[in-house]
Structure 1
């Protein structure tokens, strides 16, 4: 069976955008999948490797950005769904910045 290709878009709502902690969480999750996973700030790209912390942090994605995620490979559907879920859960950091005082 041929490789799967899938994509989705999610609104980045994290207060400071895709900074260090969210970038690390995103790339760590992306690396758990065999598929090629890329992020884009528009449907037409440019696309960056979601498994590269340097590239993800270098994109400096601000809050309020529609983050486009695409994947190709046997687990592409699962990979995109997991990354969308992570972003929608605010990287499991709800209240983390406020709690720090």
Structure 2
């Protein structure tokens, strides 16, 4: 299915969008054929969410709102999956819960 999709989601993990979450986000974005972009405001600047370097450069702290948009095949699925990843705090909480 082709099309466009947009969403926004708040970064909730304590350290924000640092290296590990950036890698997870970019890797997930790369798994979709759609063009996936991200910004820290609706006005942009928008950048390629499939680029680990660009995602890390955003330096989004806890509480930052990530604006996500995708165009092309799988756009809706890509945005939904990325929102889910951010809402799950990049799965970082479960590692800490197992060791506690």
TM (norm. structure 2) is: 0.92
Q: How many residues in Structure 1 have an aligned counterpart in Structure 2?
A: 100
> Hey, what does 1:33 align to over in structure 2?
32
CA RMSD, 1 decimal = 1.8
Aligned to 2:46: 47
Alignment of 1:7-86 (within 5 A): 7-86=6-85
Structure with greater helix share of residues: 2
Question: Taking structure 1 as the reference length, what is the TM-score of the superposition?
Answer: 0.91
Distance in structure 2 (CA, Å) of the matches to 1:20 and 1:79: 21
Q: Give the whole-Å Cα distance in 2 for the aligned partners of 1:21 and 1:99.
A: 18
In the TM superposition, residue 69 of structure 1 has moved relative to its aligned partner by: 0.3
Where structure 1 has 5 or more consecutive residues not aligned to the other structure, the ranges are none
Gaps of at least 5 residues in structure 2 are none
Query: For each residue in 1:35-65, what CA deviation from the matched residue of structure 2 results, as whole angstroms up to 9, or x when unmatched?
Result: 0000110111110100000111011111100
